[in-house]
Structure 1
Amino acid sequence: MNSLDGYRPRAAWMTTLMLTALALINFLDKIVLGMVAVPLMRELNLSPAQFGVVAGSFFWLFAVSTVLVGFLSNRIQTRWLLLAMGMTWAVLQIPQALFSSMAAFLVSRVVLGAAEGPFYPVSVHALYKWFPDEKRNMPVAFLNQGAVVGLLLAGLLIPVITHHWGWRTNFVVLGIIGAVWSVLWLCVGREGNLVQRPRGSASAPLQKVPYRKLLSNPTVLCVFFLGFAGYWMLGANMTWLPTYLEQALGYSGITSGRWFALVIATAAPFSLGLSWLSQRMLARGASSRSARVRLLCAAFVGGACLFFVLMLPGLSPGQKVAVFALAGALPTVCFALAPALLSEVVPDAQRGALIGIHTALASTGAAIAPMLIGRIVQAHGNTSAHAYELGFATSAGMLIVAALAALCWLHPERSRGASGKRVATTAA
């Protein structure tokens, strides 16, 4: 069991709250394009395939910037990196409210994606400086609920803003929200003081493992694959679910926004509940293989099966929404457990970089999925529910393959033993 010396719960959870708010903004920025897809495609005269390219472009430089800033986070305090991100996001919203061509809009999304890419690994790295290993599931799960709340608010508010003031107004509102968060973070943001050192040697230097060894570790590679599958599903859902609800299932813009909010809200209890269950199992002595790996794989397989259920004949639109909500909710526990699995085998001095590489590689799934599904929808008709469901079935396939790979090769305890890394979290 890890030492709790230097653990300050109040400051740790205040940081968690602020970063959860930033996650909310991050996902509002991501989902807004999907939420205004119908009027945007109409005004800019975009086909589904062209819109898929614009949506996926958000992730084109996402991976590069994530890796670069991940390495920087090993040297620069995370509070300053996070402040820079918040301010940059706010500024980059304004051009999106002004541009009117596909090319100009695409460039704006590419640059914004590069600015937002490092958010998750830097935030997780920042939180791990506040929480010891045995307490890391819940704060990261809580951080992920910022995304849920952001998507929930998007479903409720963006259609209303679009209806009354036009789709471009949403980007102005997002710029203002980002600026407010940046001012608050400048006032209250602090750096955590927990680091990992070899057990029994509080003054020993931080361990490092060659990156070639870390990047060839089966556990690390499996976590990367799990993240890829999770981001594939996330990119597909965020981009195409609003259009699926409106164009294929026949709901109005405001009603489909409410259904979208319900789908997103469903993820919160599953993500928090499964993260809590995993942490509880660890506290009772279960291995990480059981408490994290097998639990995560079960969630992936369950979600995948439900995505396939969508294709069954005879389901009403309401039933399809309910099935989709459960299918999308179960795999979201990946975003809490995957970084925790990495932190078990990666030294603190390299953790920011590895979580950055993980997010970079995983996010390529979110870049590819919208484009592929756009082609599927265009080939089968953008008013056909079956076309969208074929696209969502690609997520099911990815989830199943990733789960099978993890069950075969993801062994955190074995990987720690092989690298000789057995560390405890103590105060710096």
Structure 2
Amino acid sequence: MTASPDFQARSAWTMTLLLTGLALINFLDKIVLGLVAVPLTAELHLSPEKFGLVAGSFFWLFSISTVLVGFLSNRFPTRWLLLAMGLSWAALQLPQAMATSALGLLVCRVILGAAEGPAFPVSVHALYKWFPNRKRNLPVAIINQGAAFGMLLAGLLIPVVTRQWGWRTNFMLLGAIGVMWSVLWACFGREGTLGKQQAAPLGQTPTKRLPYRRILTDRSVLSVFALGFTAYWTLGLSLTWIPTYFEKGLGFTGVEAGRCFAVVVATATPVNVGLSWLSQRMLAHGVSTRRARVHLICLSAVTGGLLYVALMLLHWLPLQKVALLAMAGALPTLSFTLAPALLAEMVPDSQRGSLVAIHTALASLGAAFAPIVMGRLLQTYGGDSSHAYELGFTVSAALLIAASLAALLWLHPDRSHKTLNHFGTQAPA
């Protein structure tokens, strides 16, 4: 498959840059709670289990809103959906800064999660209107690095802001950043047209629509969902508990823990971009998507899982454990880049936005459950040593390895594309 002659490289990469900024803000909003966990829990008198509940609440409506807005993205311009998200995120920072109880903070996080849930699938859908299939790996990888850079900045700056002005100041700064991005997007954000031009070329049959019941029971689609669930599980732990693990489990100070967290996040960038580039090069040289995407995701996830196991088994120095955890967390992030491309291969463009949204919604449940499971383990085994945290990481390892083995067995994108489209029906006029 060759690139479409309608591909506009300059505009496409401009949109990529803007959406990377949105991803950066998205993850600043997500990670801030984990980085202020120690002073916040002390001030609001939260136990580890209760803090895990509050942290996981971000994802309670995340899935529902993701699906709803994903379906809307099939019908409405992504430009305006993304602008509404940016403005709402900015507005929701102020009540978090003013929260005085666990309940108040929980309500804020639930609403913010609902507002932020659709960001990734709608951003991907927007980008896919600018990039043809074989050019999609790298721009999505770059968006994901916006998320990684957001966490990197958070690790370096949030502990310093907290030490100087208190943990509440961070939320006010995030609100200001959200307003600035919204202004830029309102001025420069545009809607891509590549998908429209590719949907029904002259002389070909109109775009088909597939029954969602059949899509959502396809083994390849379910395998992608499972891989996404495990990747989000590890992300949920990173957002919520890794800074506390560094501080309470490994004995670093708050600022040192933030810097170590920045190292963990920074490691994900070259790993994710490098593997995404490798996958795209393999596709360009005629390698099947099964090998270039599926096998690469599974190999990365299994390796990450084994490194999580090693974290518990090896009695290394704290800095060595930071390095091991950094690589273990970086490898599964490849799923965030390649999963949307795999799904887009199997369904028509007219249903791509909704399916990527459904994937994000179901996969993000992993990020909702992981903080709660870790909180329960810490409540049971004690959160002042590294053992309970590392036991939680081995749960991630088991999930990563199981999902990867299932995908190696059942995830065949080309086969599913043929099977699903055999049952497709013509789109309504």
Question: Normalising TM by the smaller chain, what interval?
Answer: over 0.9
Deviation at 1:213, TM superposition (A): 1.3
- Residue 427 of structure 2 corresponds to none
In the TM superposition, residue 21 of structure 1 has moved relative to its aligned partner by 0.3
Matched, 1:378 2:379: yes
Q: What CA distance in whole angstroms lies between the structure 2 residues aligned with 1:87 and 1:185?
A: 10
Closer, same or farther in 2 for the Cα pair 1:10/1:106, shift >3 Å?
A: same
Q: Does structure 2 retain, via aligned residues, the 8 Å contact 1:137–1:340?
A: yes
Q: TM-score, normalised by structure 2?
A: 0.97
The answer to whether the Cα contact below 8 Å between 2:199 and 2:349 also exists between their aligned partners in 1 is no
Q: Is 2:331 the counterpart of 1:330?
A: yes
Whole-Å Cα distance in 1 between the matches of residues 315 and 284 of structure 2?
A: 45
Q: Is this contact kept in 2: 1:198–1:207, CA < 8 A?
A: no
Partner of 1:300: 301
1:366-405 matches, cutoff 5 A: 366-405=367-406
In structure 1, what is the Cα distance between the partners aligned to 2:307 and 2:290?
25
Q: Which residue of 2 aligns with 1:256?
A: 257
Q: Match of 1:72?
A: 72
**Alignment pair present for 1:104 and 2:142:** no
CA distance, structure 2, for counterparts of residue 20 and residue 241 of structure 1: 24
Unaligned ranges ≥5, structure 1:
423-428
Aligned to 2:207: 206
Indicate how the Cα distance of structure 1 residues 254 and 208 shifts in structure 2: closer, same or farther if over 3 A, else same. same
Instruction: Work out the CA distance in 2 between the residues paired with 1:397 and 1:65.
Output: 29
Matched, 1:238 2:246: no
Structure 1 residue 113 and structure 2 residue 113: aligned? yes
- Corresponding residue number in structure 2 for 1:23: 23
Cα 1:167–1:316 change in 2 (3 A) is same
Aligned length: 423
Give CA-to-partner distance per residue, 1:256-292, whole Å, 9 cap, x none: 1001001100000010000000000000000000000
For residue 11 of structure 1, what is the aligned residue in structure 2?
11
Query: Which runs of no fewer than 5 residues in structure 2 stay unpaired?
Result: 424-429
Residues 48-69 of structure 1: per-residue CA shift (max 9 Å, x gap): 0000000000000000000000
* 1:279 alignment partner in structure 2: 280
Residues 122, 356 of structure 1: 8 Å contact kept: yes
- CA shift, 1:5, in A, is 2.3
**In the aligned structure 1, how far is the partner of 2:4 from the partner of 2:316?**
51
Paired residues for 1:159-198 under 5 Å: 159-195=159-195, 197=198
Q: Distance in 2 between matches of 1:158 and 1:42?
A: 17
Per the TM alignment, residue 378 of structure 1 is displaced from its structure 2 partner at its CA by 1.2
Q: How far 1:194 moved relative to its partner?
A: 1.1
Cα deviation 1:300-346 (Å, max 9, x = unaligned): 00000000001124211011001000100111111000000000001
Judge conservation of contact 2:94–2:175 (CA < 8 Å) in 1.
yes
Counterpart-to-counterpart distance in 1, 2:203 and 2:55? 48
Q: Counterpart of 1:218?
A: 219
What secondary structure is seen at the aligned counterpart in 1 of 2:195?
A: strand
Return the TM-score normalized by structure 1: 0.97
The 3-state SS of whatever aligns with 1:310 is helix
Residue 94 of structure 2 aligns with which residue?
94
Q: Residue 200 of structure 2 contacts residue 207 of structure 2 at CA under 8 Å; is this kept in 1?
A: no
The answer to which of 79-88 and 195-204 deviates more is 195-204
Instruction: Tell me the amino acid that sits aligned with residue 208 of structure 2.
Output: Q
In 2, Cα distance between the equivalents of 1:60 and 1:116?
12
The Cα offsets for residues 7-61 of structure 1, whole Å up to 9 and x where unpaired, read as 1000000000000000000000000000000000000000000000000000000
8 Å contact from structure 1 (residues 345, 421) kept in 2: no
Q: Distance in 2 between matches of 1:124 and 1:138?
A: 12
Distance in 1 (CA, whole Å) between partners of 2:16 and 2:394 is 34
Give distance in 1, aligned partners of 2:199 and 2:273: 31
Q: Report if the CA contact (8 A) 1:198-1:204 is conserved.
A: no
- 1:269 maps to which residue? 270
- Identity percentage over the alignment? 62
